[in-house]
Structure 1
Amino acid sequence: MLRVFIAILLIVPVLEIWLLAAVGKGIGWLPTLLLCILTGVIGAWLAKRQGLQIFQLAQVQFSRGELPGEAILDGICVFAGGLLLLTPGFFTDIAGFLLLIPYTRGIAKLFMKRWLYKKIQSGNTQIFIWNRFNRF
């Protein structure tokens, strides 16, 4: 898992720089810069809007005595999508928008559920509960 994470940290910035240079060469540096800023602003607005909706849904589920499992997964996806949209680049913007669209977010949640289920079944999960009595 660590190797995959390191590979992503190395490959994604190279791809982003390559695509930004290619788009900048095609439409100019100023429109490319404005497009990056625009996707960041739209992404922040969408993430805030959807995040508030998910938070309200979780509050309703809590008030009914239900566990907001789906709302938590939605919140994780929206948070990750918002972060990806705030980073400059077109590949991360595409991934961010895919996490903010409810249909494609459902696909991401399906993969997250499968991953969590495998972790739980294999016993490779650790739960850390913080309280004020824990001492290090």
Structure 2
Amino acid sequence: MRSRWRFVPLAVLVLAIVEIAVFVGVAQLIGFGWALFVLLLMSAAGVFALGREGRRGWRRVRDAARSNSPVGPQAADGIAGAIGALLLFVPGFFTGVIGALLLIPPIRKLAARRGQRITEKRVPSNVAGDLFGPRQVRVQRTPKAAQPKETDEVIEGEIVD
């Protein structure tokens, strides 16, 4: 576990350097005062979006739970929206643009699906099934010549671990 986190300080340092470089570039284009104003405006939009995304995500998860459907897809979408709003709130043009992109519905759905796939791989399959519902699996059929002749029947079922 420790090896996963060893590059976090380096990543934070690189992010800070990128944010400073982008701010300097934007300040040279539009002026320091305007760049600072845009940063404050982006942070204010992030605060607004964070409240909205939090309420919206919680409402969708609650509605899914009430209807006895899997809450995982709604939770993943809500988390992706909340991360986008949080990145928009963090002062910086680079993180702000990434956060704003995550608030665009098609990009947010892609991020939510990616988060869902990562979660499905990391949790036990029965928990993933409870969170995200039945999973679809790809089945490769062997060519007709390679199939045994006595087992031509199809048995439908569900895989339970």
Report if TM-score (shorter chain) is over 0.5: yes
Provide, for residues 5-30 of structure 1, a one-character-per-residue CA deviation record: whole Å limited to 9, x for no partner: 33321111100001101111221111
Q: 1:7 to 1:111 in 2, by over 3 A?
A: farther
- 1:10 partnered with 2:17: no
* Equivalent residue letter for 2:15: V
Q: 1:106 aligns with which of 105, 109, 118?
A: 109
TM-score, normalising length: structure 1: 0.78
> Quick check: 1:71 aligned with 2:65?
no
- Runs of 4+ more than 4 Å apart: none
Where is the helix percentage greater, Structure 1 or Structure 2? 1
TM-score by length of 2: 0.67
- Once the 2 structures are TM-superposed, how far is the Cα of residue 52 of structure 1 from its aligned partner? 1.7
1:119 and 2:122 correspond: yes
Q: Percent identity?
A: 29
C-alpha distance 114-59 of structure 1, shift in aligned 2 (>3 A): closer
The 2-side partners of 1:49 and 1:76 are apart by 12
Match of 1:83 in 2: 86
- How many residue pairs get aligned? The number is 121
Cα RMSD, aligned residues only: 1.7
Distance in structure 1 (CA, Å) of the matches to 2:62 and 2:117: 25
The DSSP-based 3-state class of the residue aligned with 1:24 is: helix
- Extract unaligned runs of 5+ from structure 1: 122-136
Unmatched tracts of structure 2, length 5 or more: 125-161
Q: Conserved in 2, the CA contact under 8 Å of 1:47 and 1:100?
A: no
**For 1:114 and 1:59, how far apart are their aligned partners in 2?**
22
Bigger CA drift: 14-23 or 77-86? 77-86
Q: CA deviation at 1:119?
A: 2.2
